[in-house]
Amino acid sequence: NAGVTQTPKFQVLKTGQSMTLQCAQDMNHEYMSWYRQDPGMGLRLIHYSVGAGITDQGEVPNGYNVSRSTTEDFPLRLLSAAPSQTSVYFCASSFMGFGEAFFGQGTRLTVV
């Protein structure tokens, strides 16, 4: 039972580069979300989705895009990486609302 799988686990980007963080869940959860974790800031919501084809912005959406073409996948795209996007990114999914969320292992991203 894989749960929520994120790839890659680590990534170093140069400023201005773009990339996609992958997230897949096998629990048939309707709700999926992306968070970034920075020291002392907790986890801040970037984007979320309540089902295939439906996405919305969270607290810190600037510089990121998402799409949800299937129930299983919810990729996060960095359009033009900036040092301020250096962070640990977590994808999460849940079945009934966002309370009981299951998190992936995270992607540690460094932008130089």
Partner 1 sequence: QQQVKQSPQSLIVQKGGISIINCAYENTAFDYFPWYQQFPGKGPALLIAIRPDVSEKKEGRFTISFNKSAKQFSLHIMDSQPGDSATYFCAATNAKAAGNKLTFGGGTRVLVKP
In whole angstroms, give the CA distance from residue 40 to residue 37.
Answer: 9
Site for partner 1 in 60-89 (CB under 8 A): none
Site for partner 1 in 86-105 (CB under 8 A): 90, 92, 97-105
Indicate whether 106 belongs to the interface with partner 1 (CB under 8 A).
Answer: yes
Sort residue 16 into left (φ over 0), alpha (ψ -120 to 50) or beta: left
**Sign, Cα dihedral of 81, 68, 91, 8:** negative
Indicate whether 45 belongs to the interface with partner 1 (CB under 8 A).
Answer: yes
Instruction: Name the site residues for partner 1 (rule: CB under 8 A).
Output: 4, 33, 35, 40-45, 48, 50, 56, 58, 90, 92, 97-106
